[in-house]
Structure 1
């Protein structure tokens, strides 16, 4: 009985405060929209791929060569984000970022047991992201023979920005949805708080609930 009563009471609170809850949901959605449009800077991502293979001077590929290349993938991921590589990229493109700032824009990843490195750069400008990631791949390919004494890196695909690049963030639908949900939760919290603090006895049910007394009669409301 107590569980049913609690559910009924909860639904009653929602009905009595329906306009408040809906209003806060709309307000939450509008605030989230404003923040997304005016305060959050869009970010774009450009991607390129490089292949770590056997030495280009070799005519045949052995399983040992492939395993050696796989072991180098993690090392090469660190080299791509090393200061020596990033400094040259920054100088070549005359960037305002230091090596630390540029490193935070770069992400290097690879699939398990893959010789392919995926390099991505995130920037507020899609065209700048494209230039940086392509330059990064070229500088890396050029400097590897000097660093590792082996020429085994080739660029598989360069980044290309389309006519209508789409930002990876922010995500308007997600942000607006979260704003609406947050507004609903605030509305429910305020409604429940108001119901708890309101100790007025205004209905027959309130008399029986709070005073535990039988109702002998009621007085009609005159307007």
Structure 2
């Protein structure tokens, strides 16, 4: 990942970082509250030789005491020294209970020993340090004395009396600072890990990170009421969602200005990403701007457009393609603007072949001369080839990406499918964007015509079946297999 990718991930997952930091701060505060208070008292010893009458002896004595000081710091915590201290202070457990409380250290190349006594009781810490200041010189004198008649060559002097016990822990500022630091580090690591594991497309940044060469035409906010009122431009024209569709219309009108696309295919990677509602609202927005628009229900397998618009769908595109009815007989006017709608008609057994046939090309050429825009609601790309076949007949293709529904690999595979047929990808519309589970694209199920009861009992549908089986409107051969590239990265 590049630096920009890291920053994008952190900006997107900032809630995780903040949450981890708050948790770490809370734990640090709780730990500080539960930790007993500790106090310390310090003393300082000076080690010298007992006999230093001339300069040579003074130099030798200094070297000798420096060598001894390191051993004395270890001697400080032995029962030889701490036993009498415990007895004097009145600690029943003896030297073993005092040893963890005493710490002695000597600075390099010096003869000074600094000793600190730490205890949960300030008075007891001072008492131990006071007793240690008396006992340690005695213990050194006893150990260094060669005989009872000869004095010890080493003299230990107390140069700093025990300080009054002062509080040393726990430290609220230090603990909270450490907790915040650990929380930030942990939250950052968790945010980056979550970003790496979460491949769902959720924002414009995700789209641009996955496919840098594809334009994001617009972002449509999520609306839980969309299934009840799919045509938001008609139901609530002043809403933010309606404004997003008008912005999409404007952006689309400026795409490829030198060779303005007139016939558009709108598709998605998976089912449930909102391509049909996006197509309907886009066509309505174009018609609202004064353009003449023909909206075609190009999903011949699972048509839903006419149901969303409240129109009849007895005959439609399939009837035109097999030559059963004229194109003008299946077009229905919608609303007060120049918007005409053509339904899918009866469900055929070979939708991809019908959409890629010469009659379909003739229909689009006819509509191109009559309307400013022709917008086709096509099936999803990954389950079937219909949209890929149809995109070869149109001037441009718009891919709808459902935020939180499609993942990065599925969107890239859909784009690669369009690239494989040399489709002109105008851009991506990010749908269902939140304002402020890994899907399976085979969930978009299609049943053959023979397995559907309604079309079998419909005489018009049977006529379509017979016509398509006899070869009308076909380019020949079985439906082409779905073309996919081995490499999903673009």
- TM normalised by structure 1 equals 0.77
- Among 123, 146, 156, the alignment partner of 1:153 is 156
- CA distance in 1 between partners of 2:112 and 2:39 (Å): 22
Instruction: Give 1:166's aligned residue.
Output: 167
- CA distance in 2 between partners of 1:174 and 1:153 (Å): 36
- CA distance in 2 between partners of 1:81 and 1:113 (Å): 22
Task: Give the SS at the match of 1:166.
Answer: strand
Instruction: Give 1:142's aligned residue.
Output: 138
Task: Give the SS at the match of 1:101.
Answer: helix
- Name the count of aligned residue pairs: 212
- CA distance in 1 between partners of 2:78 and 2:200 (Å): 69
Matches within 5 A, 1:60-209: 60=53, 62-63=57-58, 64-149=60-145, 150=151, 152-161=155-164, 165-167=166-168, 169-201=169-201, 205=208
The alpha-carbon distance between structure 1 residues 217 and 160, as it changes in their structure 2 partners (threshold 3 A), is: closer
Task: Give the SS at the match of 2:53.
Answer: coil
Instruction: Give 2:322's aligned residue.
Output: none
Tell which structure's C-alpha radius of gyration is larger.
Answer: 2
The alpha-carbon distance between structure 1 residues 195 and 71, as it changes in their structure 2 partners (threshold 3 A), is: closer
Structure 1: 5+ residue stretches without partners: none
- Among 31, 47, 53, the alignment partner of 2:48 is 53
Q: What's the offset of the Cα at 1:59?
A: 8.1
- CA distance in 2 between partners of 1:132 and 1:219 (Å): 72
Q: What's the offset of the Cα at 1:159?
A: 0.9
Q: What's the offset of the Cα at 1:104?
A: 2.2
Q: What's the offset of the Cα at 1:109?
A: 1.9
The structure whose RCO (Cα within 8 Å, separation 6+) is larger is 1
Let me know the Cα RMSD of the aligned residues: 3.0
The alpha-carbon distance between structure 1 residues 53 and 22, as it changes in their structure 2 partners (threshold 3 A), is: same
Instruction: Give 2:22's aligned residue.
Output: 26
- CA distance in 2 between partners of 1:144 and 1:136 (Å): 12
The alpha-carbon distance between structure 1 residues 101 and 8, as it changes in their structure 2 partners (threshold 3 A), is: same
Say which structure is richer in strand: 2
Task: Give the SS at the match of 2:167.
Answer: coil
The alpha-carbon distance between structure 1 residues 182 and 73, as it changes in their structure 2 partners (threshold 3 A), is: closer
- CA distance in 2 between partners of 1:216 and 1:77 (Å): 75
Contact 2:39 2:121 survives alignment (8 Å)? yes
Instruction: Give 1:36's aligned residue.
Output: 32
Contact 2:130 2:162 survives alignment (8 Å)? yes
Tell me the alpha carbon deviations over residues 59-83 of structure 1, each in whole angstroms, 9 at most, x when there is no partner: 8364233333333323433433221
- CA distance in 2 between partners of 1:217 and 1:143 (Å): 85
- CA distance in 1 between partners of 2:191 and 2:74 (Å): 54
The alpha-carbon distance between structure 1 residues 128 and 198, as it changes in their structure 2 partners (threshold 3 A), is: same
Tell me the alpha carbon deviations over residues 2-28 of structure 1, each in whole angstroms, 9 at most, x when there is no partner: x6xx33333222222223322322222
- CA distance in 2 between partners of 1:78 and 1:188 (Å): 44
- CA distance in 2 between partners of 1:190 and 1:24 (Å): 9
Task: Give the SS at the match of 2:162.
Answer: coil
- CA distance in 1 between partners of 2:31 and 2:110 (Å): 40
Task: Give the SS at the match of 2:113.
Answer: strand
Say which structure is richer in helix: 1
- CA distance in 2 between partners of 1:181 and 1:91 (Å): 45
Q: What's the offset of the Cα at 1:87?
A: 1.0
- CA distance in 2 between partners of 1:200 and 1:75 (Å): 65
Q: What's the offset of the Cα at 1:93?
A: 0.8
Task: Give the SS at the match of 2:118.
Answer: strand
- CA distance in 2 between partners of 1:218 and 1:145 (Å): 88
